[in-house]
Structure 1
Amino acid sequence: MSGRYLIIQTAFLGDAILTEPIIETIKTNEPGSFVGIMVIPQNIDVFTLNPRIDVIIPYDKHGKDNGIIGFKKIINAIREYKFDCLISPHMSFRSSLIALFSKIPKRIGFKDADASFFYTHRIKKPKGIHEIDKNLRLLDPLGFKKIVREIRLYWAEENKRFIEGIFEAYSISSQDKVVVVNPSSVWPTKRWPKEHYRELVKMLLDEGLRVVLIGTQNDIQISDFVKDSDPRVVDLTGKTRIKDLFYLIAWARLLISNDSAPIHIASAFNTPTIDIYGPTVPEFGFYPLSEKNKIIQIENLSCRPCGKHGSISCAAKHFRCMMDIKPEEVFKAAMELL
């Protein structure tokens, strides 16, 4: 008999992407199972074309679904599907509360989560392994024989046409070496200085490489600074949808990024990756999984790590973890991967 599973992951884009192997593992072991996932509206497109997902439940927790009325609405939506097992990689009190009120008989969460006593099965979140493997530990109570670690992401034909149209407009061919550069992050201290990125981009362009900048609408000012009005730069900041990024990063020869979601997109498509770390460290479990990758960081800096997610500003006032990483070092790593 196949089960009916609900996965709760209402965190950032990267966290949503790293949840995908849970879906793959469930469907591989129980092909006839019914799998739903609850995500914030911004992350719906991560899953819309995934053939292994049966329903997506959007939860606008900071918008229209905020408050008691919104909470009741989401609980009612969950109950309609009569799930028999809930799996929550998300650690928040709100997710634990949703689990409780869902009345789903089997509720699996991390022992370290807020209000974890609302779960029927509590799993100690291990340290020292990738976040994917931590999430997959939540499936231990289900006794699955085959574990799938791969991230599988999907794009539509319209996403392919959009990116290929951009390449045609900029006369980029399949012979060109395209380097995708992500100079931003939600957290300011996780951003390698824009001055360093600008210098790096000039080096890459002078080497004859094609550089594509990515980011959200909030990152346009940073990308404007980085490209420095150079017409050779393809600036897609604020112009791409999630699935456009899937196709672009899958197509690229190299991704250079801060510790943020594009790293995990590259992992899904085995795109060579340079991951620049500042206040965070690879040991947190969010490092790249591409076969060819390089992690750039300042070793033996006593104040690192200073937080799990980074922060608004450097508490030590020197920001050496990022300032001391020089463009020449990242450029050298890029040349070795290309």
Structure 2
Amino acid sequence: MFFYEKIRNNRFNNKAAILIFNSLIIFCRLFIFKRKRSEIRIVIVALQRLGDTVFTIPAVKSIIDFHQNSVHIICYPETTPIFKLIFPKQEYVELKHEFFFINNQIAKPIARKILRGLDPTIIYDMTGNVTSASLLFNSSASEIIGINEKYYKSIYTKFNPLRREPHLIDNYLDGIRDLMPIYKSNDAKIITNFNQNRILIHPFASKRSKEWGLKKFIKLAESLNKEFECIMVTPPLSISTDVKEVLHIKQIPLIETKTIDELIELIKGSLMLIGNDSGAVHIANLLGKPTFTIYGPTNPEYHKPLNGVNEYIIKELPCSAKENEKICFTFGGVYCPSYECMVNLKYDEVEDRIKLFLKTNSNRKSK
């Protein structure tokens, strides 16, 4: 079980951890010299995966609109293209994953050196976890504003704890809600061609537990190909040679996108995207495309797209995430031995829902 869950499950341990961590942070920050700066420099720290990056956009836009200054956005290299769709004129500082220890969780000195080189006066933390805490704890910025676990509260001059209620977009907005007008919409208003016959299927996700199953997606693509041009889209090297041969025999095109820019361009020219709870779905929603999402161990109320035309399906089980839980009790399937929520979601259920969704919402040319 992950650190936070181990601690939270014991009230005494949780309170003790909050006290110990904040005491250590206060001690470390006693030795930080905050010099006066004549120029205001704004830095937004947004070290997220693809889907969560999309969820930060309303908060990031609110910050940029409020300050009317050039803003530096610190992010991962793969999320820069997403931000640039909405904020093409901002400055981007990309932190490579190799700049972090322990599965990208703890910032190395090189990451803190890069932040220090920006000499920020105000930092907005739109990440809210140990990764951003380890990056910011010794920053000399005059103000550090944002969200995080209570263990790191002493880093911030203006702090909001992570919310336990939906939606994740509101989680990021909480960090600035009392400071400025907020921009709630996630609609990028990017002009793309909606009158297409192409449907994309993105069969993978960040965790195996969130995947409905490649065989079922192939069967779905074969069925939809009778009426649409259905394309399987995957990252490179994620499909074996044997599966590629199956796709070839069934006349299902496969496109392996090597970069997020390639994925964005592919989505722009398509009618809609079908996938698991993954970054591809949220990028498609950001681009104004209808989406159909298959959920399993995550709670749609926290993770579903809030704008545009979207539908989802989930197999509710006794072990599924409860009303005010983001993920199921197996930490979103990480410790699930059998992925029952995905296994028990039958092909016919999904196909019927998708075909109804297409009949109701598609605006397309005939094949």
TM-score by length of 2: 0.74
Compared with structure 1, are the counterparts of its residues 51 and 223 closer, same or farther at alpha carbon in structure 2 (3 Å cutoff)?
farther
Q: Is structure 2 residue 300 aligned with structure 1 residue 264?
A: no
1:220 Cα deviation after fit: 2.1
Secondary structure (helix, strand or coil) at the match of 1:214 reads strand
From the superposition, tell whether residues 150 and 49 of structure 1 become closer, same or farther in structure 2 (CA, over 3 Å).
Answer: closer
Q: What is the aligned partner in structure 2 of residue 329 from structure 1?
A: 349
Deviation at 1:175, TM superposition (A): 6.0
User: Between Structure 1 and Structure 2, whose CA radius of gyration is higher?
Assistant: 2
Stretch of structure 1 that moved more, 35-44 or 188-197: 35-44
CA shift for structure 1 position 19: 1.9
CA distance in 1, matches of 2:225, 2:268: 21
**Of residues 276, 280, 288 in structure 1, which corresponds to 2:305?**
288
Cα offset, 1:290, TM superposition: 4.0
Picking from 98, 102, 117, the partner of 1:63 is 98
Q: Could you tell me which amino acid in structure 2 is paired with residue 80 of structure 1?
A: G
The answer on 1:314 being equivalent to 2:336 is yes
Contact 2:196 2:270 in 1 (8 A): no
Instruction: Answer yes or no: is the 8 Å Cα contact 2:99–2:111 preserved in 1.
Output: no
> Which one of 213, 216, 221 corresponds to residue 235 of structure 2?
216
SS of the aligned residue for 2:176 comes to helix
Note the alpha carbon deviations across 1:108-140, whole angstroms, 9 max, x for none. 232426523211221132233221221111112
Cα distance change, pair 135–30 in 1 and its aligned pair in 2 (3 A): same
Deviation digits for residues 74-122 of structure 1, max 9, x if unmatched? 3333233332221213233241132222211111232426523211221
Is residue 10–residue 39 contact of structure 1 (8 Å, CA) maintained in 2?
Answer: yes
Amino acid at match of 1:255: L
- Count how many residue pairs are aligned between Structure 1 and Structure 2: 311
Query: For the aligned residues, what is the CA RMSD?
Result: 3.1
The question of whether the paired residues in 1 share the 8 Å contact of 2:42 and 2:121 is answered with yes
Which residue does the alignment assign to 2:319?
A: 302
* SS of aligned partner of 1:217: coil
Task: Tell me what 1:235 maps to.
Answer: 254
- How many Å separate the matches in 2 of 1:153 and 1:229? 36
Aligned residue in 2 for 1:21: 58
Code of the aligned partner of 2:155: F
Aligned to 2:35: none
Cα distance in 2, alignment partners of residues 310 and 3 from structure 1: 44
Percent sequence identity over aligned pairs: 21
Gaps of 5+ in 2: 1-37, 322-327, 359-367
- Quote the Cα distance in structure 2 between the aligned partners of 1:276 and 1:86: 36
Counterparts of 1:291 and 1:53, CA distance in 2: 25
* Partner residue of 1:254 out of 268, 272, 275: 272
Q: TM-score, normalised by structure 1?
A: 0.80
The runs of 5 or more residues in structure 1 that have no matched partner are 161-172
Question: Structure 1 residues 71, 303: CA separation in 2 closer, same or farther (over 3 Å shift)?
Answer: closer
Name the residue aligned to 2:209: 189
Looking at structure 1, the residues matched to 60 and 242 of structure 2 have their Cα atoms a distance apart, in angstroms, of 35
| Map 1:57-206 → 2, pairs under 5 A | 57-60=93-96, 62-63=97-98, 71-112=108-149, 114-142=151-179, 144-150=180-186, 152=188, 176-206=196-226
Question: Residues 53, 20 of structure 1: CA spacing in aligned structure 2 closer, same or farther, 3 A cutoff?
Answer: farther
For residues 76 and 174 of structure 1, the distance between their equivalents in structure 2, rounded to whole angstroms, comes to 45
Q: Which moved more, 1:286-295 or 1:72-81?
A: 72-81
**1:11-62 Cα deviation digits (max 9, x unpaired):** 322222322222211222333x1211111233333334654553211212x4
- Checking the alignment, whether the CA contact within 8 Å between 1:273 and 1:292 is kept in structure 2 is yes
Partner SS state of residue 199, structure 2: strand
